[in-house]
Amino acid sequence: MTSRQRVLAAVEHRQPDLTPMDFGGTPVTGIHCSIIEKLRNHYGLERRPVKVHEPYQMLGMVEDDLKTAMGIDVEGVPAPNTIFGFPPENYKPWSTPWGQEVLVPADFHTTTDEQGDVFIYPKGNRSVGPSGHMPSTSFFFDTIIRQDEIDEDHLNVEDNLEEFELISEADLRRFAKMAADARRTGRCVIATLPGAALGDIALVPGPFMVHPKGIRDISEWYMSLSARREYVNEIYARQTEIALKNFKTINDACGRDLDVVMLCGTDFGTQSSTFCSNQTFRELWLPHYRKMNDWIHENTEWKTFKHSCGAVVSLVDSFIDAGFDILNPVQCSASGMDPQVLKDRFGGRITFWGGGVDTQRVLPFGTPDEVRRQVRERLEVFSKGGGYVFNTIHNIQAKTPIENLVAMLETRNEFNN
């Protein structure tokens, strides 16, 4: 099988020749830029600065030579703009607080204070306050909340819809070119579609907006899911209508170049429970997700990808009812997320994309033997009968030991052979 055939077989619940693998295809299946450098050195690839294509999490670009060396089957098409509101293009040098020389997009503009903390600006606009903060001891940015005082008597849905707009001609051309380039690699193409994530808490504060209006404080937003439900529901309904128009535009421009689309990065789980009840999910989110998935399945060949961290076993049936084909990151370390239980209950109805090794404890802090053992166990459970794409539980973080990554990749390859 080709890489594309392998992934599509798995997503269609057919047994592929090998267990397909994704690293770098989406903003939730990526690798920190410091680790990309270590992997390139391990494989003896050309030494050059890593491109940081997603600066919020400081994810590094997995370039073609590294994809080949690792055996990756997926090619990603990112959203037209980064979380800080500028396109990932025209790269320039930048020195990180941990001393790595990287390349960042042209509109990546920062300032550094006397403590060494780094601040980044929305759309690269330094005439306004920063929207992201990287402490001197950190390896990625945190969002700066820029919440205006809320006037309960004059809440306006338009304020929380400002960022949801029809894709521009320039962004569409850039997106279509990336999709065409991705198709030519022979890998399965996964695209991150803009504007389809309902209430994604990484996006609610508007780190990409010069002056975000509406409800932008994270705590305030979560309280609004109960206290201002009609307001939130109207936002989701309007956002969905805009998303559907963008789906059609993107499909007309490059639909045949896409295989899988990431719609939603909204998290619904904590380590031990969910953020909301199943009933709330079915009332507030499911109808809108269903519209998106129905349009895609009626008009395209795309498979749809849903990301949610945490203990979401009680919501998986609802994710399936909403029309999602794929669930990521499969956080097996969370309460109730036992791999065998997930595979037995849902494995014939949704594809698991992730869950290959725990990135909270085993991969960063375990021994290579512990990594090998867990990867082998997860592959034995998840890969049977298809319905599985190997990836870690969310992105590979900075300071992960390279020997553990090598153990993970070698075990996946040995299992396939």
Rounded CA-CA distance 333/328 in Å is: 13
Give the per-residue pLDDT at 417: 66
For the whole model, what pTM was predicted?
0.97
**Closest of 118, 111, 141 to residue 32, by C-alpha:** 141
Inter-residue contact 167 to 243 (CB < 8 Å): no
Is residue 128, in this structure, part of any structural domain at all? no
Rounded CA-CA distance 265/392 in Å is: 16
Residues near 118 by beta carbon (within 8 Å), at least 6 away in sequence: 97, 110, 111, 112, 133, 134, 136, 141
Structural domains counted in the chain: 1
Rounded CA-CA distance 12/9 in Å is: 5
Is residue 45, in this structure, part of any structural domain at all? yes
Count of beta carbons in the 10 Å neighbourhood of residue 371: 25
**Closest of 323, 169, 188, 324 to residue 250, by C-alpha:** 169
Count of beta carbons in the 10 Å neighbourhood of residue 169: 10
Rounded CA-CA distance 15/374 in Å is: 21
Rounded CA-CA distance 391/146 in Å is: 34
Is residue 120, in this structure, part of any structural domain at all? no
Is residue 123, in this structure, part of any structural domain at all? no
Residue by residue, DSSP assigns 215-268 as S--HHHHHHHHHHTHHHHHHHHHHHHHHHHHHHHHHHHHHGGG-SEEEEE----
Rounded CA-CA distance 265/305 in Å is: 9
Give the per-residue pLDDT at 234: 97
Is residue 341, in this structure, part of any structural domain at all? yes
Inter-residue contact 329 to 352 (CB < 8 Å): no
Per-residue pLDDT tens digits of the chain, which is 417 residues long? 999 999 999 999 999 999 999 999 999 999 999 999 999 999 999 999 999 999 999 999 999 999 999 999 999 999 999 999 999 999 999 999 999 999 999 999 999 999 999 999 999 999 999 999 999 999 999 999 999 889 898 999 999 999 999 999 999 999 999 999 999 999 999 999 999 999 999 999 999 999 999 999 999 999 999 999 999 999 999 999 999 999 999 999 999 999 999 999 999 999 999 999 999 999 999 999 999 999 999 999 999 999 999 999 999 999 999 999 999 999 999 999 999 999 999 999 999 999 999 999 999 999 999 999 999 999 999 999 999 999 999 999 999 999 999 999 999 999 976
What is the dihedral angle through the alpha carbons of 85, 87, 92, 97, rounded to the nearest 10 degrees?
40
Give the per-residue pLDDT at 416: 76
Is residue 214, in this structure, part of any structural domain at all? yes
**Residue entry with tokens 């690798």:** 31
Domain that holds residue 328: 3-90+146-416
Is residue 131, in this structure, part of any structural domain at all? no
Q: Which two tokens stand for residue 202?
A: 């990484």
Residues near 216 by beta carbon (within 8 Å), at least 6 away in sequence: 145, 146, 147, 148, 204, 205, 206
Termini Cα distance of the chain: 14
Q: Which two tokens stand for residue 284?
A: 């507030």
**Closest of 130, 153, 115, 134 to residue 52, by C-alpha:** 134
Inter-residue contact 29 to 23 (CB < 8 Å): yes
Q: Which two tokens stand for residue 130?
A: 């920063």
Q: Element (H or E) spanning 378, and its range?
A: helix 368-382
- The distance from CA 323 to its chain's CA centroid, rounded to whole angstroms, is 18
Q: Which CATH number is 198's domain given?
A: 3.20.20.210
Is residue 140, in this structure, part of any structural domain at all? no
Inter-residue contact 59 to 65 (CB < 8 Å): no
